[in-house]
Structure 1
Amino acid sequence: MGAGQPHRREHFWDAARAFLMILGIPYHVALAFRPVGQDWIIYSPDGAGLFTYLAEFIHLFRMPAFFVIAGYFAALLLARRAPGPWLQGRLTRLGVPFITAILILVPPLNMVTELSNFSLPEALRSWEYNSTTSGGYWVRHLWFIIVLLYCCTAAAALVRFRPGLARAMVPERVDGWMARNFPMALMGMAVLIGLWEGGVIELFYKAGLATNVPQQILRIDDLISSAPYFILGFLLMRSPATLDRMRRFSPTILIVAIGATAFSLATIDEFWPPVGRFIGTLSAVALTQVVIAGACRFLDRPIPLVQRFVSASFVVYLVHLPIILLLILLGRDIAMPAVPKALSIMLLSLMLSYAIWLVVERSPILSFLFNGEPLSRKEPPRRYLPSNR
């Protein structure tokens, strides 16, 4: 039985993915505006307890949901395209902007973080030292590209060596049972992922692998954390009845999402890390379903403004962090309560990031460097994403 082909474009998948990427702006601003003592990469004297909970809430589901959607698209596109050309496209779309960001965006980003803590001479010395000794200093917010390339490479390799997987479906009997018992099936998968998250990541750390190469550069711990969500998305695309339930609101899943999220936020750092990761996984899976169902309900149609942000979302994500850090540094001495200051930085960061994308989309060279668009493309600047990234 072949992989099903959608009869129409489902706009909500692109919208949900763009929403999750743009959520990086409030997430990173919230990290910077947590109370003093909760250190991040930039020093800010302003803080409020609200931002601890906002950052943790966004962190619970943003990247898990992103990798579920990425797995869905991988399964969808590998049913239509040969694995080699598909992977080559991923390498261009993701790899070129990754290298561009490392060379152009990350060095000034790191200098801003140093200037927030030291005088200029000391900042230069610290920048030079960390640039030559720390892999994580170069990766920063780009880690998800490394992990996504791992997942795409593994998916393409599996289809290359087992061609039947290109269009293989979950057995209809299994798919039907999961659809009929959707809340139990989804949360059962959440339990399995939670046991993986709690156990395997802890073994990674216990083995002393949280060092420069395996953790900071290769991001193996992030791969361990993200791969189950990618696989979940891949399997959902190959399970049409279950996927249909995933697109619809479930009161039971919503209750689980609220309960698990509230408990996770109320007990931040109170449990042994594997237990905390397990609880967070239950929240992540439930919230992912809520996000997908909400996007399907409200965004499954061509909305011009949404389409613009869909097109802009990847570039916005690449450039938003240096912009946020620079605004925090420049605004540090402005007398303003933490909450309105943080909200102002969120809005300004979004506006400036979007403005940069407006420049990028009008230049073939910049579109190639920052968005992985082929240089040979002769079309006018696109107004929305014509193919799933």
Structure 2
Amino acid sequence: MDAGSARRPSARQHYWDTLRAALMLLGIPYHSALAFQAGGWIVATHRHAPVLDYVAEAIHLFRMPAFFLVAGYFAALSLTKYPPGGWFRARLTRLGIPFLASLVTIIPLLNIGCELSNFAPAQALESWRNLSLTSGGYWVRHLWFIIVLLYLCGATALAARIWPALRTAPLPEGIDRWAARRPLATLLLLGIAVGLFEAVTIELFYAAHLNTTLPQEILRLDDLLGALPWFVLGLALQRAPETLAAMGERRAGVAALAVAATALALAFYGHSWPPLYRFVGAGAAMLVTQVILSVARQSFDRASPVTDRLVRGSFVVYLFHVPVIVWLALVVDGVGLPPEIGFVVVACGTLAATLGIAALIERSPALSLLYSGTRGAARPRARRQVMTAVAAE
């Protein structure tokens, strides 16, 4: 056994699965708030509540940064168990098949709902046909996350293939111990570093007008720049057991700073220089991520039927939730509900509907392969639970 393996915990830490599922499920209130925000969204509603702009942005500040950190953690964990090539091929199956299936089934349904919110049926169909032929972003929509995750997994597998020691190499013990003993300083330094990286690289990307091309609408390289430092942090955290333990402790001071930093970011929202907002937002995301990581570890580090159901269904919920939100928002807006009530109805209805869809898909081997990249219904229950855990990693 190498030194890195000796320092890493061997027991499965269930809270990482729960945290990942929760971050995916947070897409429901996030996109439901966007449907009724004053600034408008892909579906045109007629009743708006400015407060929902801030609800959406508060979730957006930390949700995807935390998710990519979790993804990096699982990537590092999986590479200690599986060869890089085999692991990446499994990721291609797990992510690539649902991505392609969603492109030809879910995304067209989403887009036609968006067009019907703006035009009469004949005009909506013509606009849908035209944009389907000319806009890359029109096809990607919320699936950008899969594209970026495949970039990061592919780069990680390639690095581990070129430098095999990376599969098990721990973070240097001195750095691990220093960070564990100074968690607040570590969070602040990391927040500054990530904030500067995002502020500079993304601003340069936009300044060069690289975000205006058709290939970029599909490739989403600006999103890759935003996700990269968080994914790398997740890789490092999995190889730093003392820091991981320290970050799993609840800290009132960090929670207070997280609230303050989030409030500051929301005060800047829409009223500041974009690089400054990215810098402040990264700091807030770093602090909030520690808070939710500690809550997950303290409260959800155990297996349970409810969390197992949510974990198994979260990816399918992610794929289907945006079109369900769009169509429910159309109905709710037509009924004339106040936007705050409409937000609650759409969010709750979407959660119920997509969990139901996930349960139905899990019963069919063919649908499971298409929309979750697994054949869940084809295995005995005990075998399915083991393989679901492996695929998730």
- TM-score band w.r.t. shorter chain: over 0.9
* Cα separation, 2, equivalents of 1:174 and 1:348: 47
How do 1:300-379 residues align onto structure 2 when only pairs under 5 Å count? 300-374=301-375, 377-379=378-380
- After superposition, what is the alpha-carbon deviation per residue over 1:52-83, rounded to whole angstroms, capped at 9, x for unaligned? 11000000000000000000011111011100
**How many pairs align?**
387
What root-mean-square deviation, in Å, do the aligned CA atoms of Structure 1 and Structure 2 show?
Answer: 1.5
Distance 1:22 1:375 in 2: 20
Equivalent positions of 1:1-389 (< 5 A) are 1-3=3-5, 4-35=7-38, 38-374=39-375, 377-380=378-381, 382=384, 385-387=388-390, 388-389=392-393
Pair 376,340 (structure 1): closer, same or farther in 2 beyond 3 Å: closer
Cα contact 1:307–1:383 (8 A) shared by 2? no
Asked if structure 2 preserves the Cα contact closer than 8 Å seen for 1:67 and 1:229, the reply is: yes
Which deviations, in whole Å up to 9, do the C-alpha atoms of 1:232-252 show, x marking residues without a partner? 010011111111111111223
Does the Cα contact within 8 Å between 2:49 and 2:340 map onto a contact in 1? yes
Judge conservation of contact 1:135–1:212 (CA < 8 Å) in 2.
no
Q: Evaluate the alpha carbon distance shift between residue 262 and residue 318 of structure 1 in structure 2; reply closer, same or farther with a 3 A threshold.
A: same
The answer to whether the Cα contact below 8 Å between 1:67 and 1:233 also exists between their aligned partners in 2 is yes
- Output one character per residue of 1:3-41: Cα deviation in whole Å (capped at 9) or x when no partner: 444332211000000000000000001001112xx1210
Describe the shift of the 1:383–1:348 C-alpha distance in structure 2 as closer, same or farther (beyond 3 A).
Answer: farther
Conserved 8 A contact 2:32-2:346? yes
Shift of 1:377: 4.8
Kept in 2, the 8 Å contact 1:106–1:138? The answer is: yes
Q: Is the 8 A contact 1:308 1:383 kept in 2?
A: no
TM-score (norm 1): 0.96
The TM-score with structure 2 as length reference comes to: 0.95
Once residues 383 and 49 of structure 1 are traced to their aligned partners in structure 2, the CA distance between those partners, rounded to angstroms, is 43
Q: Distance in 2 between matches of 1:173 and 1:5?
A: 15
Contact (CA 8 Å) 1:134, 1:212: kept in 2 or not? no
The 8 Å contact of residues 363 and 376 in structure 2, kept in 1 or not, is answered as no
Distance 2:184 2:333 in 1: 47
* Higher deviation after alignment, 368-377 or 356-365: 368-377
- Whole-angstrom CA distance in 2 between matches of 1:99 and 1:296: 34
1:303 is displaced (CA, Å) by 1.9
Report how far residue 331 of structure 1 moved. 2.3
- Give the whole-Å Cα distance in 2 for the aligned partners of 1:2 and 1:250: 28
Distance (whole Å) between structure 2 residues aligned to residue 307 and residue 46 of structure 1: 37
Give how far 1:213 is off: 3.6
Could you list the per-position Cα deviations for residues 184-203 of structure 1 after superposition, in whole angstroms to 9, with x for gaps in the alignment? 01210110110011010000
Unaligned runs of 5+ in 2: none
Q: CA deviation at 1:335?
A: 2.9
Equivalent position amino acid for 1:117 in 2: N
- In 2, Cα distance between equivalents of 1:374 and 1:159: 28
Structure 1: how far apart are the matches of 2:30 and 2:319?
14
Unmatched 5+ stretches in structure 1: none
